[in-house]
């Protein structure tokens, strides 16, 4: 069965006094685009997450968000940038000497400088945390894939039903098709005879031209191709591969045949069915945009 590009997966597990959460969201996209939002200590997992997703998803924009929350009363981590502190110290010493300033460069001054000392709420690097997040990601990806598959089933049934509706209109058009040439011939013949009255210079040539004109209204070829495209569309719905682009192409071909039938037939009854077919095609097109 086909798969939708829309899905959601979320898994959470306790970690120390807090929790770790992984969320995955998937929406429509022409290609596969993956965006990861990870705490800095877990950024090394990004490549492995992307590879895991690429193995199970072909199209769609997928956002992964990993959050780690510390428990109540748990302090954050204090970071000291010694390299930056040394640069500050050397700069101040140079400034003091060149401007002949008084005062000392002490700890209180250095501690108040920007980015020398910082407190981060992000978790420290922990192999156990990385393993937990990897497990949660695998589970969230499974949930995401399951939701995409479930919605794909719904989309499949909806599109299959609408194709059947279009086929019903095609059956009516195919039944009326044999009458189009004769009706077109008689209609144009009556107009020409009324215009020329009884003075027809070359009746044989006139009837030959009328026959050629009537033959242009024949839509047998378009009906056969329409039926073939709809059959291919239904067969593609049963595929387990990524078929979104294939369905979109077949839908364009079906629309092309329907438009040609409407323009060539030049018949009021057929025109009404063509309008209904176009309406169904537009609804199918909206669904195809969400197929992987």
As given in the structure block, the two tokens for residue 108 are 């209180």
Structural domains of the chain in order of their starting residue, each with its CATH number: 7-73+127-149 (3.30.230.10), 77-120 (no CATH), 150-288 (1.20.120)
* Per-residue tokens: 170: 């095609």
- Provide the pairing of β-strand 18-27 with 60-69: antiparallel
Residue 200 pLDDT > 90: no
Lowest-pLDDT choice from 183-187, 225-229, 238-242: 183-187
CA pair distance 55, 49, nearest whole angstrom:
10
Name all contacts of 207-215 with Cβ < 8 Å and 24+ positions apart: 210/185, 211/185, 213/184, 213/185, 213/188, 214/181, 214/182, 214/184, 214/185, 214/188, 215/181
More confident residue, 267 or 227: 227
pLDDT in tens, 148-183: 999 999 999 999 999 999 999 999 998 887 776 666
**216, pLDDT greater than 70:** no
177 or 292, higher pLDDT: 292
Confidence of residue 101 (pLDDT cuts 50, 70, 90): confident
Q: What is the pLDDT of residue 82?
A: 85
Q: Is the pTM of this model over 0.85?
A: no
Choice between 81 and 214, residue whose per-residue pLDDT is larger? 81
Which residues on neighbouring strands pair with residue 36, listed in sequence order?
64
pLDDT in tens, 241-280: 889 999 999 999 999 999 999 888 777 888 899 999 999 9
User: What DSSP letter does each residue of the chain carry, written as one string?
Assistant: ---BS-EEEEEEEEETTEEEEEEEEEE--SSEEEEEE--GGGGGGHHHHHHHHHTT-SSEEEEEEEEEEPPTT---EEEE-HHHHHHHHHHHHHHHHHHT--S---HHHHHTSTTTEEEE-SPPP-HHHHHHHHHHHHHHHHHHHHHHHHHHHHHHHHHHHHHHHHHHHHHHHHHHHHHHHHHHHHHHHHHHHHHHTT--S-HHHHHHHHHHHHHTT--HHHHHHHHHHHHHHHHHHT-SS--HHHHHHHHHHHHHHHHHHHHHH--HHHHHHHHHHHHHHHHHHHHHTTB-
In the prediction, which pLDDT does 208 show? Answer: 65
Q: What is the mean pLDDT of the chain?
A: 85
Residue 8 has pLDDT above 60, yes or no: yes
Instruction: Name the CA dihedral angle for 223, 225, 229, 234, rounded to a multiple of 10 degrees.
Output: 50
Task: Give me the sign of the Cα torsion angle 50, 56, 60, 64.
Answer: negative
């Amino acid at each position: 069965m086909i798969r939708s590009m829309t899905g959601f997966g979320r898994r959470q597990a306790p970690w120390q006094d807090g929790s770790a959460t992984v969320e995955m969201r998937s929406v429509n996209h022409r290609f596969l685009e993956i965006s990861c939002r990870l705490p800095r200590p877990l950024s090394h997992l990004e490549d492995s997450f992307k590879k895991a997703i690429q193995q199970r998803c072909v199209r769609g924009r997928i956002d992964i968000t990993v959050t780690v929350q510390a428990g109540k009363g748990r302090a954050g981590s204090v970071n000291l940038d010694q390299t930056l502190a040394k640069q500050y110290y050397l700069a101040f010493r140079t400034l003091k000497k060149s401007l002949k300033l008084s005062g000392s460069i002490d700890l209180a001054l250095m501690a108040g400088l920007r980015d020398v000392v910082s407190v981060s709420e992000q978790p420290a690097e922990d192999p156990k945390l990385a393993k937990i997040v990897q497990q949660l990601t695998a589970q969230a990806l499974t949930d995401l894939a399951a939701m995409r598959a479930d919605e794909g089933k719904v989309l499949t049934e909806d599109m299959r039903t609408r194709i059947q509706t279009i086929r019903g209109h095609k059956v009516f058009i195919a039944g009326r098709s044999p009458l189009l040439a004769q009706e077109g011939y008689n209609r144009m013949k009556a107009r020409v005879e009324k215009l020329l009255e009884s003075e027809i210079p070359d009746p044989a040539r006139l009837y030959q031209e009328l026959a050629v004109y009537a033959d242009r209204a024949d839509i047998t070829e378009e009906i056969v191709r329409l039926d073939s495209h709809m059959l291919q569309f239904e067969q593609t719905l049963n595929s387990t591969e990524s078929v979104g682009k294939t369905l979109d192409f077949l839908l364009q071909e079906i629309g092309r045949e329907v438009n040609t039938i409407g323009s060539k037939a030049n018949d009021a009854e057929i025109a009404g069915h063509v309008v209904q077919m176009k309406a169904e095609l537009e609804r199918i097109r909206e669904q195809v945009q969400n197929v992987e």
